[in-house]
Amino acid sequence: MEKATQKQMRERLENDRARLAEQVETIEREGYEALSEASGENNYRDHMADQGSATFDRELDMTLEENLRDTLAAVQHALSRIDEGLYSICERCGATIPDERLEAMPTATLCIKCKAEEESR
């Protein structure tokens, strides 16, 4: 990968990292606020359907937060691979990951062949 392209990918990944970290922080903050509200709920006041909806909302938020954290970890891993000079190298077979693949999926760690093999299992 050319230095200019790698620099663009780094900038893109750094922007993604900042955006994802902000989203995780927002969900954490809102989650803590919702949890503190939930802990003060009067179970006799709320209808069972309302309680179910609130539980579903909390579980959805937790799932979204987990997905954001996983994506953030992948972005951080990609940035580490750039620092180590391994960004465009497949972690499994050592082949070069095409620039087009990295532009489409900046956190890719496998070449297309290895990714296809992984997904076929």
CA dist., res. 89 & res. 45, Å (int): 58
Quote the domain boundaries for residue 13.
3-86
Residue among 86, 120, 78, 80 at smallest CA distance from 103 = 78
Q: What is the pLDDT of residues 13-54, one digit of tens each?
A: 999 999 999 999 998 887 665 555 555 544 445 666 767 777
The reported pLDDT for the residue numbered 55 is 75
Q: Tell me the two tokens of residue 31.
A: 């989650």
pLDDT, residue 38, reads: 54
In a domain, 108, yes or no: no
E strand residue ranges, the chain: none
Question: pTM (2 decimals)?
Answer: 0.78
Residue 96, strand partner residues: 89
SS3 37: helix
C-alpha 105/C-alpha 97 separation (Å) is 11
Give domain status of residue 101, yes or no.
no
Q: Is residue 53 part of a domain?
A: yes
Is position 112 within any domain? Answer: no
In a domain, residue 100? The reply is no
Single-letter code of the amino acid located at 27: I
The answer to the question of residue 111 being in a domain is: no
pLDDT of residue 110 exceeding 90: yes
Give CA–CA dist 67/27, Å, rounded.
12
The per-residue pLDDT for range 60-106, each reduced to its tens digit, is: 878 888 999 999 999 999 999 999 999 999 999 999 999 999 999 99
Provide the pLDDT for residue 67.
95
- CA angle, residues 77, 78, 84, in degrees to nearest 5: 90
Q: Is residue 110 part of a domain?
A: no
The pLDDT of residue 8 is 95
